[in-house]
Chains A and B, each alone.
Chain A
């Protein structure tokens, strides 16, 4: 069974631009979460989508947004990029029930560099 696929894998942007990252979850997984990974900060939760609805949200500014489509694929968008947005953005899908958290299956990530 195919794993979680993220595109693009690498990208370079300049300050002020915007970026859209894509994530295709494992077939059958309806939950998709996004994390920002930076050295020393670990995995910072951005948001989670379940059946096209944002179920949880982290403490990131409104420049960070996301959505999920009916086929469970998800996108996240970062507008007005700042140097501090340079990071590895990880997507994870999960086969969860309504009342509990399950194993996260991570993609390889999209490494964003902001110049």
Chain B
């Protein structure tokens, strides 16, 4: 089955700097790659997703890039703010099969 690896497990950046989280997946047939943000004590929420027919997608300060050949995708957050502090999860799936999540990255924004 699908295996998703996520790095780093923790990341601290100065406010205003950029943060990058990377994930690799094992199933070359995977075609859907969402990112979820989970603030402390709250439920995970989708922040951005990308499908395999697109190489990059942006939404204001966040962007996701996908490299199908290398089977990896990344989340980029620019101009980080304190409210970006959270745990971020990447995930991958094939068609309507189960969504497999990475183990998460705890992002801390240092004021």
Contacts and interface: CB of A to CB of B under 8 A. Distances in A.
A42 B44 contact: no
Interface stretch (A17-25, A63-71, A76-84, A103-111): A103-111
Interface magnitude class on chain A: 20 to 34
B43 A45 contact: no
B44 A45 contact: no
Interface in A88-115: 90, 96-101, 103-104, 106-109
Nearest to B87: A42
A92 to B, nearest CB: 8
A97 B91 CA distance: 19
Interface residues of B, number: 24
Interface stretch (B13-21, B58-66, B69-77, B97-105): B97-105
Interface in B42-85: 42-46, 49
B91 to A, nearest CB: 8
A33 B99 contact: yes
A55 interface: yes
A106 B43 contact: yes
B99 A90 contact: no
A40 B105 CA distance: 10
B89 A109 contact: no
Contacts of B89: 42-43
A49 to B, nearest CB: 12
Contacts of A33: 98-99
A108 B34 contact: no
Given A42-B104, A101-B93, A109 B43 contact: yes
A42 B103 contact: yes
12 contacts: A43-B89, A43-B101, A44-B101, A45-B98, A59-B1, A96-B96, A98-B96, A99-B95, A100-B96, A103-B49, A104-B46, A108-B42
